[in-house]
Structure 1
């Protein structure tokens, strides 16, 4: 199974720190799966201008193709000005409407206040649902006080990340099994 861990911002360190921890924990628990970290800070992504994703070149095409090839994704996002970053929204805009059909999506959020959970519920989940992702209902929500010197120090947060990884794999396995049963009904 191909999993993408997307760090959806080009600034700050907390989302990147969180997503590196996700990849580390995922690799330890599920070494048989292929997980790839896409940190948007490492790429030069063009703004979406309405073209089909494979018509772009360079980093833009690469990131879009990796997202399209994934079976599941763990999306990491900070909350800026009570919204997801434009860099993350741009990734969604680059992809086709049905880009996440038959894909599982889970979410890791870094935020300055507990009230920012509303951004996930009112912005990010609706976008993922519109793009037809199977969304893992619970997400890892990480606040400012959960970090110290570039590390996650809250054991409860680490437990929630571990649980999120497990839920992502279980959900992806369940939907894969359902798809296989549905495909077996057809003789072609």
Structure 2
């Protein structure tokens, strides 16, 4: 199985660290799982204009193909203005309507205030559902003060345990989907 993580921000390290923590937890739970981190800072994704995918640049095409070919996915976003990032939304605009059918799609988010935790359920979750993704119950919201100021590593052991639970639930659900007859 291949788990792809998408860090949906163009600035900072916290979201990438959070998504990377889910990928690492999944590998610890099952070393046979192949993982890949797509950090949107490393790609130049074209602005979606309603054209066929072939009309966009190579980065856009490659990232979409990596996402579509993954067995399951975890998406991360910082919460800006009570919403996910424009960069992540733009990426979603390039995907086919049923991109996540038969795929588990986990979510992690970082934010400055606990008031933004509902963005996962009511905004990002709605988008993933539109693409037919199966959303686990153990998604993780991480306050910015849970990270080390210098390294951007997650320091809160309760958050790390929630990440481990998310990874475990994602693996279990995806195995169940793949083992259906």
Greater Rg over alpha carbons, structure: 1
Write the deviation string for residues 103-147 of structure 1: whole angstroms up to 9, x where unpaired: 110011111111101211221111111110111122111102211
The CA deviation at 1:27 is 2.3
Write the deviation string for residues 50-87 of structure 1: whole angstroms up to 9, x where unpaired: 12334433110000000000110011111011100000
2:80 equivalent in structure 1:
80
CA distance in 1, matches of 2:58, 2:69: 17
CA distance in 2, matches of 1:57, 1:118: 34
Preserved CA contact (<8 Å) 1:73 1:105: yes
Write the deviation string for residues 144-174 of structure 1: whole angstroms up to 9, x where unpaired: 2211122111000000011100000001011
Preserved CA contact (<8 Å) 1:53 1:96: no
- Bigger share in helix: 1
If the length of structure 1 is used for normalisation, what is the TM-score? 0.91
Whether 2:171 is the aligned partner of 1:169: answer yes
Instruction: Give the aligned length.
Output: 179
If the length of structure 2 is used for normalisation, what is the TM-score? 0.94
The CA deviation at 1:24 is 2.5
Preserved CA contact (<8 Å) 2:108 2:120: no
What SS is found at the alignment partner of 1:152? coil
CA distance in 2, matches of 1:20, 1:132: 24
Whether 2:21 is the aligned partner of 1:3: answer no
2:159 equivalent in structure 1:
157
CA distance in 2, matches of 1:39, 1:11: 10
Preserved CA contact (<8 Å) 2:138 2:165: no
1:137 equivalent in structure 2:
137
**Structure 2 residues without counterparts, runs of 5 or longer:** none
The CA deviation at 1:48 is 0.8
Change in 2 beyond 3 A, CA 1:104/1:54: farther
CA distance in 1, matches of 2:109, 2:37: 16
What SS is found at the alignment partner of 2:44? coil
**Structure 1 residues without counterparts, runs of 5 or longer:** 182-188
